[in-house]
């Protein structure tokens, strides 16, 4: 098991973490949280080398993917950088990447009733909505208390101090995210527990992937 106590705050600067080989020799992972070696709840940064592939495999409790770099593919299509995917419980696929790609992947974390397949290209400017102050928000998914979105922060933006019911998970995609607890450069993964609080801000333009309400 790795980082499976959700009552603890976790910060991992993934650029400093080692790549771990997967069962496919051309796919590598940086585990962030994991219930077991090759099954159960898991979140990872995943790198497909050019030409890498996995055999067809199921996802009993779903798979959530954000394509950070390159083009990820399976038998249903190609998903360029900026694509958000949800493959529901019971789905299966045969993934590959012709040119290589970098992914953020969450496995086996779906509610049993959350069974919609979702594909969103966040490169579409029409998806962005105004948020607090100068923030821009691109909603990706919501189910019961859980919500997932991209949030763009303009230079110098400060948010109100706030508390997260159900916790908060952040992956910094660009820039440097900050709060009173530290600075988090591109690639940093932060998991904060239920009812945790902070006062976030940035000093440069920053983009984060945020999930809230799922750590009760």
What would the DSSP string read from start to end of 153-171? E-TT-BPPPEEETT-EEEE
Average of pLDDT values for 45-56?
95
Domain coverage including residue 148: 125-212
Predicted model pTM: 0.96
- Residue 97 inside a domain? The answer is yes
From start to end of 108-167, where are the E strands? 118-121, 129-130, 136-143, 146-153, 162-164
Average of pLDDT values for 46-62?
92
- Residue 8 inside a domain? The answer is no
Three-state DSSP class for residue 127: helix
Model confidence at 6: pLDDT above 90? yes
* Tally of CB atoms within 10 A around 20: 10
The reply to whether 154 and 109 lie within a common domain is: no
Helix (H) or strand (E) holding 66: strand 63-74
What separation in angstroms does the CA of 9 have from each of 14, 22, 168, 192? 16, 27, 10, 5
Question: What is the pLDDT, as a whole number, of residue 74?
Answer: 95
The reply to whether 155 and 106 lie within a common domain is: no
Three-state DSSP class for residue 185: strand
Which CATH number characterizes residue 30's domain?
A: 2.60.120.10
The reply to whether 147 and 193 lie within a common domain is: yes
- Residue 203 inside a domain? The answer is yes
- Closest by CA to 83, choosing from 107, 119, 118, is 119
**Whole-number Å distance between alpha carbons of 186 and 171:** 8
Of 70, 97, 121, the residue that ends a domain is 121
> How many structural domains are present in the chain?
2
Q: Model confidence over 105-155: pLDDT tens digits? A: 999 999 989 999 999 999 999 999 999 999 999 999 999 999 999 999 999
Average pLDDT, the chain: 95
Question: What is the pLDDT, as a whole number, of residue 24?
Answer: 83
The reply to whether 51 and 107 lie within a common domain is: yes
Confidence of residue 7 (pLDDT cuts 50, 70, 90): very high
Question: What is the pLDDT, as a whole number, of residue 36?
Answer: 81
Contact 216, 167 (CB under 8 A): yes
The reply to whether 140 and 101 lie within a common domain is: no
Q: Which two tokens stand for residue 15?
A: 């650029």
Question: What is the pLDDT, as a whole number, of residue 58?
Answer: 87
- Closest by CA to 186, choosing from 7, 12, 22, 42, is 12
Share of the chain above pLDDT 90, in %: 90
Of 121, 155, 189, the residue that ends a domain is 121
Question: What is the pLDDT, as a whole number, of residue 60?
Answer: 87
- Residue 4 inside a domain? The answer is no
Q: Model confidence over 154-212: pLDDT tens digits? A: 999 999 999 999 999 999 999 999 999 999 999 999 999 999 999 999 999 999 999 99
- Residue 147 inside a domain? The answer is yes
Question: What is the pLDDT, as a whole number, of residue 57?
Answer: 87
The reply to whether 141 and 183 lie within a common domain is: yes
Contact 178, 200 (CB under 8 A): yes
DSSP state of 88: P
- Residue 7 inside a domain? The answer is no
Of 121, 137, 172, the residue that ends a domain is 121
The reply to whether 187 and 99 lie within a common domain is: no
- Residue 5 inside a domain? The answer is no
The reply to whether 178 and 195 lie within a common domain is: yes
Q: Which residues contact 82 (CB under 8 A, 6 or more apart)?
A: 67, 121, 122, 123
DSSP state of 18: P
Question: What is the pLDDT, as a whole number, of residue 101?
Answer: 98
Share of the chain above pLDDT 70, in %: 100
The reply to whether 91 and 133 lie within a common domain is: no
The reply to whether 36 and 97 lie within a common domain is: yes
Model confidence at 45: pLDDT above 80? yes
Model confidence at 87: pLDDT above 90? yes
The reply to whether 130 and 117 lie within a common domain is: no
- Residue 52 inside a domain? The answer is yes
């Amino acid at each position: 098991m790795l980082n499976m106590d959700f009552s603890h705050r976790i910060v991992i600067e993934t650029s400093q973490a080692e790549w771990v080989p997967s069962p496919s020799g051309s796919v590598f992972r940086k585990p962030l949280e994991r219930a077991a070696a090759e099954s159960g709840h898991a979140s990872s940064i995943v790198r497909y080398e050019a030409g890498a592939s996995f055999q067809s495999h199921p996802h009993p409790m779903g798979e959530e993917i954000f394509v950070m770099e390159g083009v990820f593919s399976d038998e249903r299509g190609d998903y360029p950088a900026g694509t958000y995917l949800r493959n529901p419980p019971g789905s299966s696929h045969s993934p590959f990447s012709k040119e290589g790609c970098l992914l953020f992947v969450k496995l086996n974390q779906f509610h049993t009733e959350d069974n919609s397949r979702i594909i969103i290209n966040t490169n579409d400017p029409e998806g962005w909505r105004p948020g607090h102050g100068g923030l821009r928000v691109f909603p990706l998914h919501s189910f019961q208390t859980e919500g997932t979105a991209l949030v763009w922060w303009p230079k110098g933006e400060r948010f109100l101090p706030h508390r997260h019911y159900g916790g908060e998970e952040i992956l910094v995609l660009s820039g440097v995210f900050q709060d009173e607890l530290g600075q988090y450069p591109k690639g940093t993964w932060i998991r904060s527990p239920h009812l945790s609080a902070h006062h976030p801000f940035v000093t440069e333009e920053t983009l984060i992937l945020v999930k809230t309400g799922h750590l009760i």
